Amino acid sequence: MNIDNFRRAILAVGLVLPMSWTAGSVAAQTARSFGVSVSTPTVNQTATSAILPAGGDMVTNSGQSIAVGGLATAQDAFAIVSGDADYGSSAVSSATLGAVNLLNGLITADGVVAMASSSIGDAVNSNTEGSSLANLVVGGVEVSDAAPNTRMDLPGVGYVVLNEVQTTGDGVTTSGVTVNMIHVVLQQPILGVLGQVTGYQTVGNIIVGSATSSVTR
């Protein structure tokens, strides 16, 4: 190899390697949580939320009494998010509430804990350990220890998903999870020309106790 070829090789390495190092050395995290969120054609409101900003270590928010759009009330809501601004190797978020009442008593609970945790160790991982629902009653039926993504119909209203868990990431370089402890999907029937029900359309969402965390190696 003459000196010209050698110089070209060094130039190529110098251009390509720094780009790959930059991409590979960036670690990132997200953490957010909220107490109650209502989204309908007339109401779009989130109460007691906390979002970890870039470079932040911890954010908290609380509210003793929450009332959103005449659809949801709750007491003693706390949202806490924390993470590692320097290394981006961990994120934890939580939302806790007491005395939850949705849709004029259609759904009640006296203790909600949503907790999401993501970290980088030998592997990247996320979980919702620590999440729970206390004294949950849905349409007059007591529900204890709801399994992840438990769905119950709410006639005339839509349906509710309890302990709704959604994961993200490839488990190798990225990992994330969101848990919504109570997620009501408001629906309206779609009527055919003869007035018959041909389907349902979603017209709103009510989420109580939501926590999200994620990390990227």
**CB 30 within 8 Å of CB 213:** yes
Q: Among residues 162, 70, 73, which one has the least CA distance to residue 114?
A: 162
Residues 3 to 42 in contact with other proteins, rule: CB under 8 A = 3-4, 6-7, 10-11, 13-14, 17-18, 21, 25, 27
The answer to whether 207 and 198 are in contact (CB under 8 A) is no
The C-alpha angle 173, 22, 122, rounded to 5 degrees, equals 30
Work out how close the CB of 35 gets to other proteins at its nearest, in angstroms, rounded to a whole number. Answer: 13
Q: Please give the angle made by the CA atoms of 150, 71 and 101, to the nearest 5 degrees.
A: 60
Q: Where are the beta strands (DSSP E) in the chain?
A: 28-39, 44-51, 58-68, 72-83, 90-102, 107-109, 111-120, 124-127, 132-134, 136-138, 141-143, 150-154, 158-168, 174-191, 197-216
Task: State the minimum distance, in angstroms, from the CB of residue 12 to other proteins.
Answer: 10
- Which residues between 96 and 115 bind other proteins (CB under 8 A)? 96, 98, 110-111, 113, 115
Q: Which of 23, 41, 42, 129 binds other proteins (CB under 8 A)?
A: 129
Minimum gap (Å) between residue 2 Cβ and other proteins = 10
Nearer to other proteins, 91 or 185 (CB): 91
Give Cα 69 to chain centroid, integer Å: 21
Q: Using CB under 8 A, which of the segments 120-128, 148-156, 158-166, 186-194 binds other proteins? A: 120-128
Question: Longest Cα pair distance anywhere in the chain, in angstroms?
Answer: 85
Among 66, 102, 120, 157, binds other proteins (CB under 8 A): 120
Token duo for residue 153:
């119909």
Residue from 54, 55, 122, 195 binding other proteins (CB under 8 A): 122
Strands 150-154 and 158-168: antiparallel
Task: Determine which residue in the list 130, 152, 159, 167 makes contact with other proteins, applying CB under 8 A.
Answer: 130
Shortest separation between residue 119's beta carbon and other proteins, angstroms: 5
Q: Which is nearer to other proteins, 37 or 131 (CB)?
A: 131
- The reply to whether 94 sits near other proteins by the rule CB under 8 A is yes
What number of other Cβ atoms are within 10 A of residue 175's Cβ?
Answer: 24
Where do contacts with other proteins occur on this chain (CB under 8 A)?
3-4, 6-7, 10-11, 13-14, 17-18, 21, 25, 27, 57-58, 60, 62, 64, 75-76, 78, 80-84, 86-87, 89-90, 92-94, 96, 98, 110-111, 113, 115, 117, 119-123, 125, 127-135, 217
